[in-house]
Amino acid sequence: MAKKTITLVTGGNGGIGFEVVSQLMAASNNHVLLGARSIEKGSAAVKDLESRKLAGTVELLKLDVSDEQSIENAAKQVEEKHGRIDGLVNNAAISQVEGLPLSKQMAICYQTNVIGVQLMGENFAPLLKKSSGTPRIVNVSSGVGSITQKMDPKSRSYDLQYPQYRASKAALNMITACQCREYRDDGFKIFAYCPGFTVSNLSSMNVSANGAKPTSEGAAPIVALLRGDRDGDHGKFVHATGEYAW
């Protein structure tokens, strides 16, 4: 496995995460750790991917980013088996929880979308520092997390409230900025990336009938970032063709 590039993708059993894993597996030099909180769903995803006879390899990693102990256990498992990782995609996220008061929804979103990403960085940075190449982190954010866009009446998301999700993604962007500073001297390349409005299981709105683009289109730029195609955009809040203001 030492000759392969090892990438961990959280929330890898569905949506954009699954597509990122699939696209990474198109290359024989890639080994992907598919992070999933459900063993059942994760195993089904791995079985699906392996049935496609892709060139790369995949391995299920039980991982619930809303649970600190789960993150610590996963990091220990990866360290014992592989000793390193080369890339980390913090993709797992939650947008809303139907039927709960807004304050509780905000707490749940923050736990997964912000605290989870912070803890993933803390626990997996030591393994990224042992990368055989350039360590890269892609934090999957959203354009609706841009405060600049929220304050611009011309922005398509100006009237969208959705504070539980928007605030969590704005906070995620700050986590990204802090990571850039923290791992600056370790040669990390770190990005906040917005996939755009994409078909996913994030919410009931993320369907093609509402204009959501295919998951393949949202995932491809993440794979490009992991390849190093856009290392010049390190430390930026990027989308498929450019960047957003924070």
Tell how strand 189-193 and strand 237-239 pair up: parallel
**165 catalytic residue (yes or no):** yes
d(CA 95, CA 63): 19
**Which listed residue (130, 150, 165, 183) is catalytic?**
165
**47 catalytic residue (yes or no):** no
d(CA 83, CA 88): 14
Per-residue HEC secondary structure of the chain comes to: CCCCEEEEECCCCCHHHHHHHHHHCCCCCEEEEEEECCHHHHHHHHHHHHHCCCCCEEEEEECCCCCHHHHHHHHHHHHHHCCCCCEEEECCCCCCCCCCCHHHHHHHHHHHHHHHHHHHHHHHHHHHCCCCCCCEEEEECCHHHCHHHHCCCCCCCCCCCCHHHHHHHHHHHHHHHHHHHHCHHHCCEEEEECCCCECCCCCCCCCHHHCCECHHHHHHHHHHHHHCCCHHHCCCEEECCEECCC
**Which listed residue (76, 162, 169, 193) is catalytic?**
169
What is the set of active-site residues?
A: 165, 169
